[in-house]
Amino acid sequence: MALLEQDYLILEALQGGLPLVAEPYKVIADQLGMKEAFVLERLNDLLNNGTLKRFGVIVRHHELGYRCNGMCVWEIPIERIDEIGHAFSQYDFVTLCYERNKRFPDWPYNLFCMIHAKDRAHVLQHVDQLVRENDLADVKRDILFSTRRFKQRGARYNDCRPAHVSLQRAAQ
């Protein structure tokens, strides 16, 4: 599905988050020289056609008391990678889960999942739960605990517009 020129501008405007006001989409629309109804219609279309998978909030977990982060790395047999990846993604305490290529000889891990918890003991309990409930006792794994936070925010796609889409206010 081809995106409209205005879609790129809308997506770019939303990357920094919604303004914390009563009518955030109106503020975005006004900044772009569009009507609020048009912005909402385009976002709905982008969700329906799969360009946007979801529209959500980035929670700054550290400020909520989740002080321990554990990136769990697993050496999952290739024939189980889809099964285990999908299973892990169903746990509320798993905030990221993705497959990566192994890098032999030093890095045999191919499945990564992030767990945020109040403390180290809770991360370890969650990992034990994953092992127990998914029959992974014999699977090589490790946990990389964070020691310092440098940056936390949602993804941004700098200048996602094609060359022909101007930064000028869009006409609808």
pLDDT tens sequence across 76-96: 999 999 999 999 999 999 989
Q: How much is the pTM?
A: 0.64
pLDDT (tens digit, 9 = 90+) per residue, 102-138?
Answer: 998 999 999 999 999 999 999 999 999 999 999 999 9
Q: Both 34 and 96 in a single domain?
A: no
Looking at the structure, do residues 75 and 118 belong to the same domain, yes or no? Answer: yes
Q: Answer yes or no: are the C-beta atoms of 32 and 172 closer than 8 Å.
A: no
- Specify if 81 maps to a domain: yes
**Coil, strand, or helix at residue 8?**
helix
* 93 found inside a domain: yes
- Domain with 120, as residue range(s), is 61-145
| Domain total in the chain | 2
The runs of H, that is alpha helices, within 5-149 are: 5-14, 24-32, 36-48, 81-89, 120-133
The answer as to whether 90 is a domain residue is yes
**63 pLDDT above the threshold of 90:** no
Task: Provide the CATH number for the domain around residue 120.
Answer: 3.30.70.920
Together in a domain, 128 and 76:
yes
